Structure 1
Amino acid sequence: MKENEIFEKAPVSKAYFTMALPVVLSMVVSLIYNMVDTYFIAGTGNTDLVAGVSLGAPVFTLMIALGDIFGLGGSSVISRMFGKKQDDDGRRMSVFCFYAAILCGILVIIIMLAFRMPILHMLGADEDTLCYASAYYTGIVIGAPFIILSFTPSNLLRTEGFAKASMVGTILGAVVNMVLDPVFISLLGFGAAGAAIATVIGYICADLYFLWFLLKRSQKLSVNPVGFHISADELKPIFAIGIPASITNLMQSFGMALTNRFLLPYGNEKVAAMGIVMKVNMIAVLVLVGFAFGAQPLIGYNYGADNKKRLKEILAFCYKFECSLAVILAAALSLAAKPLIRVFMDDAQIVNSGVEMLKYQQMGMLFVAIVLVTTCTFQSAGKAWGAFWLSVSRQGLIFAVVILTASHLAGYTGVLAAQAVSDFLTAVLAILFYRHYFGSQHS
């Protein structure tokens, strides 16, 4: 199917699934990788090691967040440019995003290695978990340029309709990672550091594939810096959308770290259980993210082309499908909570804690769907402030207020319920913002 047919003429459902399914498949493979990673780490039987990697996990999320500045920020701008038939400008933006991601990764290495110990203590590492958290942290930080870069072409390729190529690169990196996990974690005995090394090598392989595809197959995107130029005014829309997109993942790191801090008084076993629960919960979240953000090029292209009728049809389909899927996934994970937790660690205390934690997480899944689609819509349309406030709310400002209040009012149960309450409040905010930005257009 030609690009214009996908973006302009194909039935909405067909265009949606053509663009979104490869993203979802990429997410599912990434999810499988995350579970395999957790499985081999938990297979060591060392609770402190599992907790240490859980404490270091927000650092990996930070890398994804930084990659989203240039991946999601760039794809938002470029898809709207393609919708306006400004192909040359879109090509220049892609060159900037590619090299800016590499430079960002180099800066991350310098800064985060210099402040390694203060950051680890801030994340909650203690004398039992510090060595494991430090090993994972260091490996991930050294690989920052490769991790951050990967999220740029994987997003930009979809603006040209190459959703399958984006999927292939992502899956390639995840498969390499899964194959190397048992080698580095168990066979070579590197433990937490081994998990980080396998992750970085996987991203290097994905980067090489994306580079090959951009050089050989892409017609509208480029990595050629010869004759490149960009103005400050052209950078603003990339960062205006990219930074809120990045903040979404930064807030995920913040939310994970904050949850771990509030669970620490109840023991490292609770932190370890939550680390496993977060992996299982990603079954639902990553699928929802894939379907929500898989539609981003469609929304951006038609918004840029000012095709209001098709844009309205796309958004209506997105909300209905995403919300229905969220309910189904939440019910499935709640029913299968015990066997899913037990796959990773067959410890009665951790399984029982994890089952309760996972069920609380599912209570907010419908609201997560609403927030995801609305955030994607704002990012695609260049509505920076709407995207920003939603990005800092669900696992950031609103979550911080909720978990602080809930922990005082209901103790441990309050900590577990905080995310679902935050999801609901952020969904309300999303609906209000949507009506403000698009109410008159879609009434």
Structure 2
Amino acid sequence: MKMENTRQGNRFDSERLIPNYFHLSVPVVMGSIVTIVYNLADTYFIAQTGNALLIAGVSLCAPIFMILMAFGNIFGQGGSSLLSRLLGQRRTEDARRVSAFCFWIALAVGAAVGGALLALRDPFLSLLGSSPDTLPYAREYGTVLLAGAPLIVVNFIHMNLLRCEGMSGFSMAGTVIGAVVNIILDPLLIPGMGAAGAAIATVIGYACSVLFLLAIVLRRSAVLSVRPLLRLELPFLKDVLSIGVTAAITNIATSLCTILVNQKLLVYGDDRIAAMGIVLKVTMIVQMILVGFSFGGVPLFGFLAGAGERQTIRRLLRFCLTFLGALSLTMTLLVCFAAQPLLRLITPDEALVRMGVPMLRWQTAGSVFAGAVMLTTCLCQASGRALPALALSLSRQGIIFVGVLLIASRLFGYQGILASQCTADALSAALAGAILLAERRRDR
């Protein structure tokens, strides 16, 4: 069993299972690390202003990113799952149709979502937790982000689809280019333009990434296409949406949970929201590395599922669970022990650092469970198992988290808010274990 790409010479085969997994996932992780760096750079340059209201206002716009990412993942991860299975079945022309559809529909959806949220800008920002003091900063940042929504959404298409063809390195390069542009522009634009400058730097970075990835598709890809006249059959559309929507629900649920946490923290002051905004950027280090090693394997899981290699999937799954468990435990311990110096690297405000240390430790503690949840979600998505993927998408950053947050905040107040994510991660890992056992029985 193997997959060959005549231009790139890439192969997926059972004899090189683990090397193939790292060949696909390491570039995703490297791209994720670059994403972390430029997110931290944004936060660093904004924090250097010493304006806690500016920090809080920009932090409140984090759900906008998650919403746009959600719509990108509908067609990026949904298309990636279907594309991998089609390549496993040697259906190259169908794969080409799927890739063209995902590109154009993402552009259209990005424009529609950005326009709708711009029309509802101030009420939406108030819903995110903006106070009268932070609303002007959130408005500046959010307006520019929403204007660039089509670019942000479409960025996730070729970033995902190129990995299905074995070109993870180019996918990573696109992320790196966007990040470098952003980092260069941040210190030039933020001092004079504040929140708007940070957002402009971000959108220009995404534009550069999109253009680079598009050039790779046009010049090097043997499978992907952007021809607008390629028709997509209805069953393929349903397949893209069934998996893509479950992937998007994770991002939307994360946004809603962030909004809910901000609403709970608002009672304790804008400075708590500012501290949480910084903490979430630091915890992103752990989360994005786990996401990279989990979702980086989706093309391989999908290819194996399309080729009917059930035993090979089980072997790969056992390795990934062991590897991610050890990795997440190591990173959790490092971040918990180094919480204070990590926060001091980003902000000089000692009050924010003091508030942030317990937040950071609680937010990171559940990562040891989160890896198993992410990997199981990806396996279900890659195999076309929409219902289990949906259940997991609605757990860790959805129904389970919301339930835990509401109960814990009522019983334990501020400390209950901080402990909610860790508790939800543990409960979601138990659900992931139950789903894996059920899937194993089904395959027998």
Q: Quick one: structure 1 residues 151 and 5, their matched pair in 2 at CA, closer, same or farther if it must change by over 3 Å?
A: closer
1:424 to 426, 435, 441: 426
1:54 to 37, 42, 59: 59
SS in structure 2 of the partner of residue 7 of structure 1: strand
Cα distance in structure 1, aligned partners of 2:19 and 2:56: 43
How far does residue 258 in structure 1 lie from its aligned partner after superposition? 1.2
Give yes or no for the alignment of 1:293 onto 2:295: yes
Written as runs of structure 1 = structure 2, the 5 A alignment for 1:23-34 is 23-34=28-39
Give yes or no for the alignment of 1:386 onto 2:388: yes
SS in structure 2 of the partner of residue 27 of structure 1: helix
Corresponding residue of 2:407: 405
Q: Quick one: structure 1 residues 54 and 5, their matched pair in 2 at CA, closer, same or farther if it must change by over 3 Å?
A: closer
How far does residue 155 in structure 1 lie from its aligned partner after superposition? 0.2
Q: Quick one: structure 1 residues 45 and 5, their matched pair in 2 at CA, closer, same or farther if it must change by over 3 Å?
A: closer
Give yes or no for the alignment of 1:220 onto 2:216: no
Corresponding residue of 1:153: 158
How far does residue 2 in structure 1 lie from its aligned partner after superposition? 5.1
How far does residue 146 in structure 1 lie from its aligned partner after superposition? 0.4
SS in structure 2 of the partner of residue 246 of structure 1: helix
How far does residue 225 in structure 1 lie from its aligned partner after superposition? 2.2
Give yes or no for the alignment of 1:12 onto 2:22: no
2:87 maps to amino acid? F
Corresponding residue of 1:140: 145
Most deviating of 339-348 and 290-299 = 339-348
2:207 maps to amino acid? I
How far does residue 56 in structure 1 lie from its aligned partner after superposition? 1.1
Written as runs of structure 1 = structure 2, the 5 A alignment for 1:302-341 is 302-341=304-343
1:15 maps to amino acid? N
Q: Quick one: structure 1 residues 402 and 229, their matched pair in 2 at CA, closer, same or farther if it must change by over 3 Å?
A: same
1:80 to 78, 85, 97: 85
How far does residue 109 in structure 1 lie from its aligned partner after superposition? 2.2
How far does residue 308 in structure 1 lie from its aligned partner after superposition? 1.5
Cα distance in structure 1, aligned partners of 2:352 and 2:418: 15
CA deviations on 1:207-257 (whole Å, 9 max, x unpaired) are: 11111111100001111124x112222200100000010111111111211
Cα distance in structure 2, aligned partners of 1:348 and 1:161: 46
Give yes or no for the alignment of 1:41 onto 2:43: no
Q: Quick one: structure 1 residues 170 and 331, their matched pair in 2 at CA, closer, same or farther if it must change by over 3 Å?
A: same
CA contact (8 A) 2:115 2:147 kept: no
Q: Quick one: structure 1 residues 97 and 405, their matched pair in 2 at CA, closer, same or farther if it must change by over 3 Å?
A: same
1:89 to 79, 86, 94: 94
TM-score (norm 2): 0.97
Report runs of 4+ in structure 1 exceeding 6 Å deviation: none
Cα distance in structure 2, aligned partners of 1:424 and 1:435: 17
Corresponding residue of 2:357: 355
1:77 maps to amino acid? L
Cα distance in structure 2, aligned partners of 1:9 and 1:2: 13
Cα distance in structure 1, aligned partners of 2:64 and 2:440: 36
How far does residue 57 in structure 1 lie from its aligned partner after superposition? 1.1
1:103 maps to amino acid? A
How far does residue 12 in structure 1 lie from its aligned partner after superposition? 2.0
SS in structure 2 of the partner of residue 11 of structure 1: helix
Structure 1's unaligned 5+ residue stretches are none
Corresponding residue of 1:240: 242
SS in structure 2 of the partner of residue 395 of structure 1: coil
State the identity as a percent: 45
CA contact (8 A) 2:186 2:198 kept: yes
1:181 maps to amino acid? D
SS in structure 1 of the partner of residue 131 of structure 2: coil
RMSD: 1.3
Give yes or no for the alignment of 1:118 onto 2:123: yes
Most deviating of 390-399 and 197-206 = 390-399
Cα distance in structure 2, aligned partners of 1:78 and 1:57: 30
Aligned length: 439
Cα distance in structure 2, aligned partners of 1:74 and 1:66: 12
2:182 to 177, 182, 198: 177
Cα distance in structure 2, aligned partners of 1:92 and 1:438: 33
Corresponding residue of 1:377: 379
How far does residue 33 in structure 1 lie from its aligned partner after superposition? 0.4
Q: Quick one: structure 1 residues 230 and 2, their matched pair in 2 at CA, closer, same or farther if it must change by over 3 Å?
A: closer
Cα distance in structure 2, aligned partners of 1:72 and 1:335: 35
Structure 2's unaligned 5+ residue stretches are none
Most deviating of 295-304 and 346-355 = 346-355
How far does residue 60 in structure 1 lie from its aligned partner after superposition? 1.2
SS in structure 1 of the partner of residue 115 of structure 2: helix
Cα distance in structure 1, aligned partners of 2:176 and 2:113: 25
2:267 to 247, 259, 265: 265
How far does residue 437 in structure 1 lie from its aligned partner after superposition? 2.1
How far does residue 206 in structure 1 lie from its aligned partner after superposition? 0.6
How far does residue 319 in structure 1 lie from its aligned partner after superposition? 0.8
2:213 to 191, 210, 215: 210
SS in structure 1 of the partner of residue 152 of structure 2: helix
CA deviations on 1:84-115 (whole Å, 9 max, x unpaired) are: 11111011000000000000111012211111
How far does residue 39 in structure 1 lie from its aligned partner after superposition? 0.1
How far does residue 434 in structure 1 lie from its aligned partner after superposition? 1.8
